[in-house]
Structure 1
Amino acid sequence: MTDTARIPLFPLGTALFPEGSLPLRIFEPRYRRMIAQCLKDHGSFGVCLIAAGREVGEPAVPYLLGTEAQIVSADHLRNGVVDIVVRGRRRFRVLDHELEEDGLLTGTVRWLADPAPQPIPAHLVEVVPLLERLIEKYGGGHVIEPHRFDDAVWVGTRYAEWLPLKAEAKQRLLEMDDPLERLEFVRDTLYELGMLPADPDAELRR
């Protein structure tokens, strides 16, 4: 498999994470064309968080690290509107991009290697029971199985998409290559939000 590809890019106000699920309503002509082509060719597109601009109207400027989106369902509504659900696959880095005539952004991307599953070290296992409860209570069909609560990559990524963080913080988590760095960020954030008991060692890590 080649490590580069040319794909359409969809700048959004939210980040998509690998193995994550994201519902989207498609109504702009440029993106309706993109979705129609993806459905016809069984292709995918790239989701990038917006660095500057807006989702609708003039083309936005995207961050250059995003996630491949695979369409898993599509519901065609009236007036050409399409409701889709996508699943996050590989991360990528945008090498170059350009606008097509209708404003659709396309780019050459380099696929980033998927991190290998990694055991959760003892000092971070405290985050797992909370995630289990959150998924049991709110996850429903939105969290793609299998659930890998023993994998630091999977646990950190699920928290990254669920935590109430600013978009820039989520982008930072998406860009992290070290699963343990991401999980430590998650653990510290859970303490700050009061979602875990007070951490007696917090001052020692400052």
Structure 2
Amino acid sequence: MTTARLPLFPLNAVLFPGLVLPLNVFEERYRAMMRELLKTDESEPRRFAVVAIRDGHEVAPSAPGMPDGTAAPEPGPTAGFGPEPLTAFHSVGCVADAATIHERPDGSFEVMATGTTRVRLLSVDASGPYLTAEVEELPEETGEGSGALAEGVLRAFRSYQKRLAGARERSLSASDELPDEPSVVSYLVAAAAVLDNPSKQRLLEAPDVAARLREELKLLRSETAVIRHLPSLPATDLTKTPTSPN
């Protein structure tokens, strides 16, 4: 199994392979990480690992993208994560490749990254200015019947989105271009469905693509049934990801 040591960026969100991750970086520990990543030549991937923070641990102190000016300065790389940061994070995360890292005049960074491969967290090192982790890459097994499952998930997702957005709003139609690769479908739907972080984390950790698709089918049918009995909801843009604060 391939292992690597990468900078570690914990978030109150789950990143999936193939999905875009915009970041607004203002804490000093993550600024230091971005300054280090900028030393990597643009022709090489600027990789870091993203892991979701377990419920009950650090939460973003302010609205997305807006630093809290009244908050106490972060004292170090483990701030908010306790003496054993490994226990504060979910064990499976995703490698992110920073396509653009833009430093603002105030020293904060605007970053656009993309999820690439799933990894398992083996250890966390807090000896530097930011956390690093030893991770091992997880294989992407297809599983049995993934093709038919992907078709079923896309049908269920269309119904789910239509119910969520309202019949008068635009929703996916048969003419819309959608991926047909089962693994891509599994991650796209996992990211786009309005689910809590524990549900998304379970989907990320699924042992293979077919298992992830089966779980999504159950979740989508369940969520669609609930929405059907609710009053009309405002249109929701399922493909728009808010900027994640650090």
Among 41, 46, 56, the alignment partner of 2:49 is: 46
Find the residue that maps to 1:115 and give its secondary structure.
coil
Cα distance 1:59–1:105, how it changes in 2: closer, same or farther (>3 A)?
A: farther
CA contact (8 A) 2:19 2:114 kept: yes
Shift of 1:189: 1.5
Give the CA RMSD over aligned residues: 2.9
Paired residue total: 186
2:195 maps to 165
TM-score (norm. length: structure 1): 0.78
CA contact (8 A) 1:47 1:67 kept: yes
Shift of 1:75: 2.6
In terms of mean alpha carbon deviation, does 160-169 or 55-64 score higher?
55-64
Shift of 1:9: 0.7
1:125 maps to 151
Distance 2:25 2:113 in 1: 12
CA contact (8 A) 1:92 1:112 kept: yes
TM-score (norm. length: structure 2): 0.66
Q: For the pair shown, which has the larger CA radius of gyration, 1 or 2? A: 2
Higher relative contact order (CA 8 A, sep 6+): 2
The one-letter code of the counterpart of 2:50 is V
* Aligned residue runs from structure 1 range 1-206, under 5 A: 3-41=2-40, 42=44, 43-51=46-54, 52-55=56-59, 57=74, 58-60=79-81, 61-102=88-129, 104-116=130-142, 119-121=146-148, 125-129=151-155, 149-194=179-224
CA contact (8 A) 1:6 1:107 kept: yes
Question: Gapped runs of 5+ residues in structure 1?
Answer: 140-146, 199-206
The one-letter code of the counterpart of 1:172 is R
Distance 2:105 2:57 in 1: 28
Structure having the larger proportion of residues in helix: 1
Q: Identity percentage over the alignment?
A: 28
